[in-house]
Amino acid sequence: MKLAVIGATGMVGEVMLQVLSERHFPFSELIPAASERSVGKKVVCGGNSYEVVGLKKAVSMKPDIALFSAGGATSLEWAPKFAEVGTVVIDNSSAWRMDPSKKLIIPEINADKLTSADKIIANPNCSTIQMLLALAPLQEHFGIERIIVSTYQSITGTGVKAVQQLKNEYKEENGEMAYPYPIHRNAIPHCDVFMDNGYTKEEMKLVNETHKILNDATIGVSATAIRIPVLGGHSESINVQLKKDFELDAIRKLLNESPGLIVQDNPETNTYPMPIYAAGKDEVFVGRIRKDESQNKTLNLWVVADNLRKGAATNTIQIAEYLLQENLI
């Protein structure tokens, strides 16, 4: 099993190497690859050191699987080149997500759609993954009419530059700005670029990816994405209108029994999900479960996950694990 990690020196790439080690992913050869400026650098996985190679060399080594986290432009250019030599690409960028010929996969929800013919597989946006892990069981048992979601997203979703901006501002030092405004002691209602309809790309990803993954374009989805000065973990306030009425005990039982979810919901003990506790974990945490008293058949949830792990690296690796488990490679 030859495994390539494309973008191995980036924030998500580093987490991928960590998760591969933790989950004892069964590779016999690891090929870390990145842009030319990173060639020759060393990365560590499972206590072993590996030298970073360029993308052209990585293709020539014909890996069985390539985990991509190097941005959309890199993926559009290089994923087909890997696929041409027989590599299965699992891509963490937005490049292939809405391509109708590519599968958009959250393993706990729709991995059974994968076949041996799939050579480029898309990993959803981090905010979509955690939201749908909580909502897919509700869709299956009750049906979903409408979703209103506000996200409170970690600066790690932007990358190293944003982390450095926060650190500089915390120390009252000048430096390069990842955002148009200070992020320290602030909340910026602006994730990704604005589109013609007034929504940002991040907000529209939640709409479009939900429709594709749940295979239901009739679900109403309205999103507002906010960047907050948190170093790890996205949080989401979700209001979901169901097609059938429900009892809260049934909702809690259903979520408790759903793979990849942990329910943390006890107001008496101040138990609820927070990014400080989700950091470094692979599960999605759900709490503040309550009926919307202003609207029939409607539920409020608070959903938190580590955006670099389940929102990116872990989900990608779980797809690869499924392919191996089902002998699709």
User: What CATH number is associated with residue 24?
Assistant: 3.40.50.720
CA geometry: angle 137, 139, 142, nearest 5 deg: 100
pLDDT at 113: 98
Q: Give the integer Cα–Cα distance in Å for 66 and 48.
A: 19
One domain, residues 300 and 321: no
Q: Are 148 and 40 members of one domain?
A: no
**152: domain range?**
127-307
Does residue 200 share a domain with residue 71? no
pLDDT at 137: 98
Are 233 and 304 within 8 A, CB to CB? yes
Do 178 and 259 reside in the same domain of the chain? yes
Q: What is the mean pLDDT of each run of 10 residues along the chain (329 residues)?
A: 97 97 97 95 96 97 97 96 98 97 98 98 98 98 98 96 96 96 98 97 98 98 98 96 97 98 98 97 98 98 98 98 96
Residues 129/214, Cβ–Cβ less than 8 Å: no
Tell me: do 285 and 172 sit in the same domain.
yes
Q: How far apart are CA 162 and CA 183, in angstroms?
A: 9
Which pLDDT belongs to residue 143? 98
Give the count of beta carbons closer than 10 Å to the beta carbon of residue 224.
17
Same domain membership, residue 169 and residue 62: no
> Is residue 263 within 8 Å of residue 271, measured between CB atoms?
no
Q: Are residues 104 and 243 in the same domain?
A: no
Q: What are phi and psi of 39, to 5 degrees?
A: -60, 135
Do 148 and 251 belong together in one domain? yes
Same domain, 16 and 110: yes
Structural domain count, the chain: 2
Instruction: Give 2's contacts (C-beta < 8 A, 6+ positions apart).
Output: 27, 28, 29, 31, 61, 62, 63, 64, 65
98 plus 142 within the same structural domain: no
74 and 117 fall within a common domain: yes
Which SS3 state, helix, strand or coil, does residue 104 take? strand
Q: How far apart are CA 3 and CA 192, in angstroms?
A: 31
Smallest CA-to-CA distance from 178 within 186, 119, 280 is with: 186
Q: What is the CATH number of the domain that holds 300?
A: 3.30.360.10
Q: Identify whether the C-beta of residue 313 lies closer than 8 Å to the C-beta of residue 161.
A: no
Residues 131 and 169 occupy one common structural domain: yes
As annotated, the active-site residues are 126, 234
Output the six-digit token pair for 322: 């499924």
